[in-house]
Amino acid sequence: MARIPPIDENNPDIASLVDEIRGARGRLINIYRLMLHSPPLAEAWFNLNQAARFGTEIDGACRELVIMRIAILNACEYVLKTHTRQYALKEGLTQAQIDALADWRGSGAFDARQRALLDYTDAMTRDIDVPDAVFAEARKHFSERQIVELTMLVGAYNMLTRVLNALKVDPE
């Protein structure tokens, strides 16, 4: 059970922001129902999340690998369930890849580009610092812009998973 109750989404003070989020998401999901306790932070997160997920050159399959891997590493059921059920297959991942993600190093389900991406994600999430060899391998597969976008995506979802876990936000 969530540690903070969801906001009353019918509050007229936040109506325009609620409408904007609903328009993009289709509905007001639990993370926004929590974040709307602080409208400036909810709006900032919404804009960052939209840009990190949909305004980059990172393809959908790579994006979902990053997001779900972070959810696994940070034990965030909310993000893992949401992205496994709603996005992963639609973005081109296979069920075998989804099933192998927890132990990706021991799996043959990922190509060299995906493995470099997952190694980079693991380094940023577990150790914060990315070893030169890990960065060099990622650099073989991603442009400078994509490296920046990938780094921002990993940072954003590490923040989100930690917020969700600390406040025990319930999955949809």
CATH no. of 60-166: 1.20.1290.10
**pLDDT, mean of residues 42-63:** 96
- In the predicted model, is pLDDT for residue 9 greater than 90? no
Q: Are 116 and 137 in contact (CB under 8 A)?
A: yes
Max Cα–Cα distance, the chain, nearest Å: 52
pLDDT (tens digit, 9 = 90+) per residue, 97-155?
999 999 999 999 999 999 999 999 999 999 999 999 999 999 999 999 999 999 999 99
Percentage of the chain beyond pLDDT 90 is 94
Tokens of 132: 């030169």
User: What average pLDDT score do residues 41-51 get?
Assistant: 96
CA distance 11 to 159: 27
Dihedral, 93, 94, 95, 101 alpha carbons, nearest 10: -60
Q: Which of 1-5, 69-73, 109-113, 158-162 has the lowest mean pLDDT?
A: 1-5
Radius of gyration of the chain (CA): 17
Residue 119's nearest CA partner among 64, 66, 77, 67 is 66
- State the alpha helices, DSSP H only, in 11-142: 15-25, 30-35, 39-54, 60-73, 77-86, 95-100, 112-122, 132-141
Neighbour count for residue 1 (Cβ, 10 Å): 6
Report domain extents, the chain. Answer: 12-54, 60-166
